[in-house]
Amino acid sequence: MAACIESVLAQTLVNWEMLIVDDCSTDNSAEIILSYVKKDTRIRFFQTNKPSGSPAIPRNIAIDNAKGHYFAFLDCDDLWLPRKLEEQYSYAEANNYLFVYSNYEKITSEGIRNERVITVKSQAKYSDILKSCEIPCLTAFLHRSCVGKLRFVPAPKEDYVFWLLILKQSIVAYNTNTTLALYRDSLASRSSDKVAMLKNQWKIVRHLERVNFFYSLYCMAIYSLKGLRKYIR
């Protein structure tokens, strides 16, 4: 938690607010957060009334209470590189983009960097992410206007569903084509249930998005191939 907060404090862009939502943690996370709140007025602290069981609820609390023009998301295990916010803000403003993202680097569970950069597509449309989600949540940077009343849905792949809702509005997301965040690659994430992931992807594409059966199969084939490539990197 402390390293995550420090990575935001280290941003070269200083005009930001950090909304931290504690989802009824049972460790000393709340104490760590409060120690930072006392030192920096840009940090605001919220807590859920009960464990939500999904990142969607804490993120929605943050969105509902945010005052800024842009939203960005960071889970407590991950880190931003110092120029993350400045580069994305400048890129979005210069090009009048509502939604930008970037490449990221995988680090070990101990935080060791080993140059495992994951390069994602230069842009993402709704039709693109039906086949594969090319927008890492820790790199997303969205203007308030494209979020509007949309919120994360408490379901598997909640960030992916949120991107679909946004891009369905004929919005295109653009990659800064730079590496701006560090994703902690734990053993647990690597050994997660791949069958369950495939089932969830099918439910989203076929049933939630109501894509026709044969195109859904095509999307799933592309998704599986890209997932395999991502897993072995």
Query: Which pLDDT tens digits describe the chain residue by residue (233 residues)?
Result: 999 999 999 999 999 999 999 999 989 899 999 999 999 999 999 999 999 989 999 999 999 999 999 999 999 999 999 999 999 999 999 999 999 999 999 999 888 998 899 999 999 999 999 999 889 999 999 999 999 999 999 988 999 999 999 999 999 999 999 999 999 987 555 445 788 889 999 999 999 999 999 999 999 999 999 877 766 55
Residue 118 structure tokens: 């994951």
User: What is the model's pLDDT at position 191?
Assistant: 42
Q: What is the dihedral of CA 39, 43, 46, 47, to 10 degrees?
A: -60
Contact 127, 168 (CB under 8 A): no
Phi (first) and psi of residue 149, to 5 degrees? -95, 5
Rounded to 5°, the CA angle 36-40-43 comes to 75
**Domains of the chain from N-terminus onward:** 2-191 (3.90.550.10), 192-233 (no CATH)
